[in-house]
Amino acid sequence: MIFASSLWPAIGPFHILLLHLPIGVFSAIALIESLAFISEKARKAREALPILYVFGAATAVLSVITGLSLMGDKHSDDMLLHRNLGIVTAVIACVAALLVWKNVARAVQLGVLGLLLAAMGATGHIGGGMSHGEDFLTEKLPEPLKSWLQPAEQPPVQAPPHIDTAPLSPVAAGASKPVFQTLILPIFEKSCTECHGAQKVKGKLRLDSYAAAMKGGEAGSTFVARDLEKSLAWESMNLSLDDEDVMPPKKSKCPRPDEKDLARIKWWIENGLPDQQDLSGFSAVP
């Protein structure tokens, strides 16, 4: 029992390795099936398909199992979707393997293969986005190509769900109000985490937790305690709207921090970037 329970988390990391096997195998199958229309050699290679399918299905199932282990109990929406699509992919892969093994009509095999590739593509897309950030592939492309491939930069983003930043001033007696979570995080969630969060990590910067904000982004010194001028994030929020470095970017539909938000962030930096300390311990909180 003890062995089994320590083994379960240990297999999780293998997900990252295993998941590439079904992708490779089913891509190879798709290649053979496409070439079979025009090449005699590829038609002969179809004899290997049953074995390839079984291997692909088996590794897809193993990817799901190790993925469930890796997931632990963190469940973002993306992760749940990735998990469900992964399970669907593995099920289709098993069905496909069975059909090919039974040598059903080729049209049926091709239909199921199409379905399988679509499900696998969707699973991989979300999974890749989760681990590398959504623009991992396109980030380094030259600008014209990039905006063609990824118009997502200025999507008609809906405003994030309303987050209440209001009730602060008379600190409720006894209730604990850690500074970062109560005062600062809601501002980031309103104006920044759309692009600096789990989904997108622009400028290698995340602002969805205290640790991430302190770690900073590509350029470093995102927040420097008691130094507004050195705090890049403060500067970027206070640039004029036409400045190309202004945050949130001009094109973005994210609500800009209002005056009260800015006052709070200023206060936060000037007070040394407190995290867990209780708000009630501070005077003159904006």
Which residues would be at the binding site for ligand HEC (CB under 6 A)?
191-192, 194-196, 202-203, 205, 216-219, 222, 232-233, 236-237, 247-249, 252, 254, 257
User: Which residue's CB is nearer to ligand HEC, number 124 or number 248?
Assistant: 248
CA angle 56, 112, 60 (to 5 degrees): 25
What's the min distance (Å) between Cβ of 88 and ligand HEC? 31
Shortest spacing between CB 154 and ligand HEC, in angstroms: 8
Is the Cβ of residue 22 or residue 248 nearer to ligand HEC in the bound state? 248
Nearer to ligand HEC, 63 or 222 (CB): 222
Residue nearest to ligand HEC (CB): 217
Which CB, 226 or 253, lies closer to ligand HEC? 253
* Residue placing its CB nearer to ligand HEC in the complex, 49 or 187: 187
CB of 47 to ligand HEC, least distance (A): 50
Rounded to a whole number of angstroms, the minimum distance from the CB of residue 163 to ligand HEC is: 13
For the bound state, the minimum distance from the C-beta of residue 244 to ligand HEC, rounded and expressed in Å, comes to 8
Instruction: Indicate the residue among 26 and 268 with the shorter CB distance to ligand HEC.
Output: 268
Nearer to ligand HEC, 65 or 254 (CB): 254
Residue 128, phi then psi, degrees to nearest 5: -65, -40
CB of 187 to ligand HEC, least distance (A): 7
Please report how close the Cβ of residue 164 comes to ligand HEC at its closest, in angstroms. Answer: 18
Residue pair 93/87 in contact by the 8 Å Cβ criterion: no
Q: Are 88 and 22 contacting, i.e. CB atoms less than 8 angstroms apart? A: no
